[in-house]
Chain A
């Protein structure tokens, strides 16, 4: 009995680990820096098929193709910007998870700052009102 459980656990673990090993395409990089750039790029670029996943996470055939393109371009010594431009030229700004700051995205970029400012103004108004009320109550007491 004990041995059966032992074997089952061992087999489960072995299967889990084999899955992890097979999950990544075996890629050989020139150095650690290149591998880091590959990982950064595939995390930052969107998979076009399953649009809420990045290229690193997606198993869609197109994501595999695009990862291979990125890998090949890295081997050719292209810069990160060149690789991003390659994808933007084909798929548009949508491939970038971080949209560029330009005319049609200005609202998107400025909105957080505007909201923060608005919140600050409301806060100041409320605090002033309260302190005025408090001051009046103090006066009434005395």
Chain B
């Protein structure tokens, strides 16, 4: 009797295993960042459109900020743009842009067309600094505390849910 049932049991177990695998695979394209809990990597990059003004990671210390990696060629960046704009307007956190692998004129045109929520925009035209941040797609956003430690990374669009459930609670935690 048991030997008859054994294949059925094995089949069911295999099914459960594969179903669990599919469930995990849903989130598989998001790679957990090893940079969470670490300091923002060192960089020295010009402001977008102002090549003579260099910004380093130390210039951003003092208050928490959201570093938003965007580009004019990035379609999803346009999707999240209104939410980034709203977050910046709310005054709850500074939003700093990291313009990634873009053309300066395209980037400036994009800001003019869709609005500029950024306190300042850092130009990483070569994408070299983005590698230090572990960026592999745009948009990506890093929530950084006042001391320059990365506390959260969003891969893909910042949505109202992400702001509500991930960003605002962490900001509140920092405020304490």
B-contacting residues of A (Cβ < 8 Å)?
A: 48-49, 51, 61-62, 65-66, 69, 88-92, 94
Question: Does B91 count as interface, using CB distance less than 8 angstroms?
Answer: no
Interface size class of B (residues with CB under 8 A): 10 to 19
Q: Is the CB of A48 within 8 A of B31?
A: yes
- Pick out which of these stretches binds chain A: B59-67, B112-120, B130-138: B130-138
List 5 contacting pairs A-B, 8 Å CB cutoff, sorted by A: A48-B136, A49-B137, A51-B29, A61-B101, A62-B137
Point out the residue from B34, B126, B132, B136 that lies within 8 Å of A49, measured CB to CB: B136
Point out the residue from B32, B127, B133 that lies within 8 Å of A61, measured CB to CB: B127
Give chain B residues whose Cβ lies under 8 Å from the Cβ of A91: 31, 34, 134, 136
- What 1/0 flags go to B134-148 for Cβ under 8 Å of A? 101100000000000
How many angstroms from the CA of A94 to the CA of B32 in the assembled complex?
9
Q: Which 9 A-B pairs have the closest CB atoms?
A: A48-B136, A90-B134, A92-B34, A94-B31, A91-B134, A65-B127, A62-B136, A49-B136, A92-B31
Give chain B residues whose Cβ lies under 8 Å from the Cβ of A94: 31-32
A-B contacts, CB under 8 A, total: 38
Question: Does B55 count as interface, using CB distance less than 8 angstroms?
Answer: no
B34, B136, B137 interface centre (most CB from chain A within 10 Å): B136
Chain A interface, DSSP helix/strand/loop, else mixed:
helix
How many angstroms from the CA of A61 to the CA of B31 in the assembled complex?
18
How many angstroms from the CA of A66 to the CA of B82 in the assembled complex?
32
How many angstroms from the CA of A91 to the CA of B36 in the assembled complex?
11
Give chain A residues whose Cβ lies under 8 Å from the Cβ of B50: none
Name the interface residues of B16-72: CB closer than 8 Å to any CB of A. 28-29, 31-35
Min Cβ gap A105→B in Å is 14
Min Cβ gap A45→B in Å is 12
Quick one: closest A residue to B132, CB to CB? Answer: A90
Give chain A residues whose Cβ lies under 8 Å from the Cβ of B34: 88-92
How many angstroms from the CA of A1 to the CA of B132 in the assembled complex?
59
Quick one: closest B residue to A62, CB to CB? Answer: B136
Q: Is the CB of B128 within 8 A of A65?
A: yes
Q: Is the CB of B131 within 8 A of A65?
A: yes
Point out the residue from B29, B33, B131 that lies within 8 Å of A92, measured CB to CB: B33
Q: Is the CB of A90 within 8 A of B29?
A: no
Min Cβ gap B27→A in Å is 13
Q: Is the CB of A66 within 8 A of B31?
A: no
Give chain A residues whose Cβ lies under 8 Å from the Cβ of B101: 61
Min Cβ gap B96→A in Å is 20
If A48-B136, A65-B126, A91-B31 are given as contacts, then 16 extra A-B residue pairs at C-beta distance below 8 Å, sorted by A number, are: A48-B31, A61-B101, A62-B131, A62-B136, A62-B137, A65-B131, A66-B131, A69-B131, A89-B34, A90-B131, A90-B132, A90-B133, A90-B134, A91-B136, A92-B31, A94-B32
